[in-house]
Structure 1
Amino acid sequence: MSKILIRGAKVLGGEPQDVLIDGETIAEVGSGLSAEGAEVVEADGQVLLPGLVDLHTHLREPGREDSETVLTGTRAAASGGFTAVFAMANTFPVADTAGVVEQVWRLGQEHGYCDVQPIGAVTVGLEGRKLAELGAMHESAAGVTVFSDDGKCVDDAVIMRRALEYVKAFGGVVAQHAQEPRLTEGAQMNEGVVSAELGLGGWPAVAEESIIARDVLLAEHVGSRVHICHLSTAGSVEIVRWAKSRGIQVTAEVTPHHLLLTDELVRTYNPVYKVNPPLRTERDVLALREALADGTIDIVATDHAPHPHEDKDCEWAAAAMGMVGLETALSVVQETMVDTGLLDWAGVADRMSVKPAQIGQATGHGRPVSAGEPANLTLVDTEYRGQVDPAGFASRSRNTPYQGRELPGRVTHTWLRGKATLVDGKLT
């Protein structure tokens, strides 16, 4: 592979430096570097980050290729600066066997836009009644370490305890979609003032918080690792903060949309704002930002949930829940966390690359931008501002809540082990 010299990049937002890539590896970082025959990328003060890692992506394949495929989803990931994504198990068939997770993993290997690590289902068919083949999925070629029934909650405490006990044997983690089903029957949006005024079924905060409280206590009892998917309420923040103060092995994620959007948007009845967990209040949004800044919430994860046009362009009650997020995630984080002074770019790298790679055990990702490390890198023009146009998305679906909204930042280049997957904002 040829050499690439990235000239004048602000590594983690610091002073401009040069970064030399030789093959799959970063060869040198410093000032005034040169390399005969190297391809030169003039960064002109753009911010260079380790390649982003998404612990929560829905690629839909197998079974729902009308909304996304591994190819289109990984192209979207590369466009957003991601070099690794974790693919959720709610496919058709469900990724609850070694055969299915290996299929998803091999598709990721074939397409090459980013690494794809399958997440295995906790229970057979996501039905919550019987543990899936956790050990077989871990021992497969895919090497699954994260398990989740995301889209559904593992609401049976006995099943959840058994799952935590099982994954402890090989250092795995159970990622919980915290939603008490009995408290959210018929729920259409956040339970509160807006739901009462609109007459829509409410999704109360306690439905999330009660499951998180139970699961951190189970994790403490078992001595195992639990990860909280798409945490969305101020109360959930306090529970996780308490659990961490006790030394419980809990990590948590927040989505970009929960850092920016509130339930006031539901007044438009536009189904693009229908998501699970729902958009919450301004108070929750501010609490989530502070928690991400102080480390109570460990990472940002997109919960990229593509849907075809017909599943979202309909009346609110019939619309599917979910939003695409891979191609806008970094811009939303810049808007809500960097431009507000809550995080610097080193903090963004920590929350969107280093820690998600650690939680998911993504080998070679989330590493320092330094000599000898894998050349998984993302270059960001942080001075750019522009309107979001889903017509230009690489994702097969267009269900973004940001259409027409002006957001900062644009990923210009992405490298996966030294191979450019995105150059000047265009996929290779």
Structure 2
Amino acid sequence: MTPYLIKGVSVVGAAPTDLLIRDGVVADAGAGLTAPDAIVIDATGLVALPGLVDLHTHLREPGREDAETVESGSRAAALGGYTAVCAMANTSPVADTAGVVEQVWRLGREAGLVDVQPIGAVTVGLAGERLAELGAMADSAAQVRIFSDDGHCVADPKLMRRALEYVKAFDGIIAQHAEEPRLTEGAQMHEGEVSTRLGLIGWPAVAEEAIIARDVLLAEHVGSRLHVCHVSTAGSVEVLRQAKARGVRVTAEVTPHHLLLTDVKAETYDPVYKVNPPLRTASDIAALRAALVEGVIDVVATDHAPHAVEDKECEWAYARPGMLGLETALSIALDVLGPEWDLIAERMSRVPARIAGLDGHGVDPAPGVPANLTLVDPAARRVVEPAELASRSRNTPYARMTLPGRIVATFLRGEPTVLDGKAVK
């Protein structure tokens, strides 16, 4: 394994230092390090972060390899500074058995670009009718600990309670897509002033908030772990704040696009802005940003949702919801939060790694620590060109936007997956 000496890097915003990577770990740290056998990386002006961890990624394989594969999604993740991603279960076939989650896990290992941790489905076929093989998936080689029907809400409260009770036995997590389906039937965008003006059926904020309120009560009753996917409203923030104050074992995520883009984007009728949950209002964005800083919202998760051209380049009503996110997430965080490196490391690496139970990830670079890290150039600015993205899909809402920050290098257990801003393999 080739050793690397990273010179003059700022570790999570601290004073410049040197990092020696050898045999998969950070072997030494300090000023003036030398290592004649190491490849030297001049990191003057760069910031080293613990490798980013995404709790919410759609890799589409098996079944929709035209939109993404585990390999192409892993490459996009590495270029975005990630060393681990959690792959959602809405594949075809659905990841609701030990066999399918092990397939995804093995594909991730074969790609070798990031650690791919599968998320198992809560219900068979995401149908919301009976529990999937939760125990078998937990006992599989993939060791699944998070279960989600993302894209679908576990709407039946009795089934949700049973799922929370089941995973409590092995300290698992149910990650809920909070959407009361009877309140969102036919919905095309956020319900509000813009939807009224455009004449589109609205997706009301209360459809999200009602499910979160119900589920925190269930989690509190059972004493189990609940994770809320892609929180998007100010009302949801208040429900979460109250639940956490009572000691409910609930965590929550927010996406980069819900921190930046509003429902006004729907005025273009460009389906790239169609997402579930929908883009909300400026007041919602303000509440989400404040909650992220406060810790009411625990992590930034991409909800990276690649789609084939025919699923996006069509009429708004028929377009599939979802946006790319892996290669731009850190830039959006920098744009929204500024260079608050400790906060970014906390929300995009340390906390998501703890939630997912990913040992060796989410740990700041220091001697003896596995060398899962990323180097960022905070002074760089780049124009997002869809054709240059590693994903097989092109449905980015940031096309031709100029964003701050550039991933210079990413290391997975001491092996570079990105160098000089380019994928190594």
For the residue of structure 2 that corresponds to 1:94, the secondary structure is coil
Query: Any idea what the Cα deviations from partners look like across 1:289-329, whole Å, max 9, x if unmatched?
Result: 00000100000000000001111011100111000000000
Partner of 2:385: 389
**AA at the equivalent of 2:344:** V
**How far does residue 359 in structure 1 lie from its aligned partner after superposition?**
0.5
Query: Within 1, Cα distance between the matches of 2:175 and 2:70?
Result: 21
Partner of 1:351: 347
Query: Within 1, Cα distance between the matches of 2:292 and 2:29?
Result: 29
400, 416, 425: which one aligns with 2:396: 400
**AA at the equivalent of 1:373:** V
1:112 matches 2:108: no
**How far does residue 247 in structure 1 lie from its aligned partner after superposition?**
0.3
For the residue of structure 1 that corresponds to 2:391, the secondary structure is coil
Partner of 1:33: 33
Moved over 2 A (4+): none
**How far does residue 106 in structure 1 lie from its aligned partner after superposition?**
0.3
Relative to structure 2, which stretch is displaced further, 36-45 or 296-305?
Answer: 36-45
1:82 matches 2:82: yes
**How far does residue 8 in structure 1 lie from its aligned partner after superposition?**
0.7
Partner of 1:205: 205
Query: Within 2, Cα distance between the matches of 1:193 and 1:26?
Result: 53
**How far does residue 242 in structure 1 lie from its aligned partner after superposition?**
0.4
1:368 matches 2:393: no
Query: Within 2, Cα distance between the matches of 1:159 and 1:404?
Result: 44
**How far does residue 196 in structure 1 lie from its aligned partner after superposition?**
0.1
1:416 matches 2:412: yes
Query: Any idea what the Cα deviations from partners look like across 1:88-119, whole Å, max 9, x if unmatched?
Result: 00000000000000000000010101000000
**How far does residue 362 in structure 1 lie from its aligned partner after superposition?**
1.0
Query: Any idea what the Cα deviations from partners look like across 1:241-266, whole Å, max 9, x if unmatched?
Result: 00000000000000000000000111
**AA at the equivalent of 1:380:** V
**How far does residue 383 in structure 1 lie from its aligned partner after superposition?**
0.4
For the residue of structure 2 that corresponds to 1:359, the secondary structure is helix
1:15 matches 2:15: yes
Query: Any idea what the Cα deviations from partners look like across 1:381-401, whole Å, max 9, x if unmatched?
Result: 110112111111010001000
Query: Within 2, Cα distance between the matches of 1:263 and 1:172?
Result: 35
Partner of 1:219: 219
Query: Within 2, Cα distance between the matches of 1:91 and 1:196?
Result: 34
For the residue of structure 2 that corresponds to 1:53, the secondary structure is strand
Query: Within 1, Cα distance between the matches of 2:379 and 2:143?
Result: 39
5 Å matches for 1:153-168? 153-168=153-168
**AA at the equivalent of 2:67:** S
**How far does residue 163 in structure 1 lie from its aligned partner after superposition?**
0.4
Query: Within 2, Cα distance between the matches of 1:174 and 1:361?
Result: 14
For the residue of structure 1 that corresponds to 2:337, the secondary structure is helix
**How far does residue 37 in structure 1 lie from its aligned partner after superposition?**
1.1
Partner of 1:97: 97
**How far does residue 44 in structure 1 lie from its aligned partner after superposition?**
1.1
5 Å matches for 1:44-59? 44-59=44-59
For the residue of structure 1 that corresponds to 2:251, the secondary structure is strand
Partner of 1:337: 337
**AA at the equivalent of 2:328:** T
**AA at the equivalent of 1:355:** V
For the residue of structure 1 that corresponds to 2:175, the secondary structure is strand
Q: Unpaired segments of 5 or more residues in structure 2?
A: none
Partner of 1:249: 249
TM-score by length of 2: 0.99
For the residue of structure 2 that corresponds to 1:409, the secondary structure is strand
**How far does residue 379 in structure 1 lie from its aligned partner after superposition?**
0.3
Query: Within 2, Cα distance between the matches of 1:8 and 1:261?
Result: 36
Query: Any idea what the Cα deviations from partners look like across 1:140-177, whole Å, max 9, x if unmatched?
Result: 00000000000000000000000000000001000000
5 Å matches for 1:120-199? 120-199=120-199
5 Å matches for 1:250-269? 250-269=250-269
**How far does residue 368 in structure 1 lie from its aligned partner after superposition?**
2.2
**AA at the equivalent of 1:257:** H
For the residue of structure 1 that corresponds to 2:355, the secondary structure is helix
RMSD: 0.6
**AA at the equivalent of 1:200:** L
Partner of 2:328: 328
**AA at the equivalent of 2:217:** L
**How far does residue 29 in structure 1 lie from its aligned partner after superposition?**
1.3
For the residue of structure 2 that corresponds to 1:357, the secondary structure is helix
**How far does residue 19 in structure 1 lie from its aligned partner after superposition?**
0.7
Partner of 1:270: 270
Relative to structure 2, which stretch is displaced further, 359-368 or 147-156?
Answer: 359-368
Percent of aligned positions with the same letter in both sequences?
67
Query: Within 2, Cα distance between the matches of 1:28 and 1:388?
Result: 36
Query: Within 1, Cα distance between the matches of 2:232 and 2:100?
Result: 30
Query: Within 1, Cα distance between the matches of 2:359 and 2:134?
Result: 20
TM-score by length of 1: 0.99
For the residue of structure 1 that corresponds to 2:105, the secondary structure is helix
**AA at the equivalent of 1:369:** P
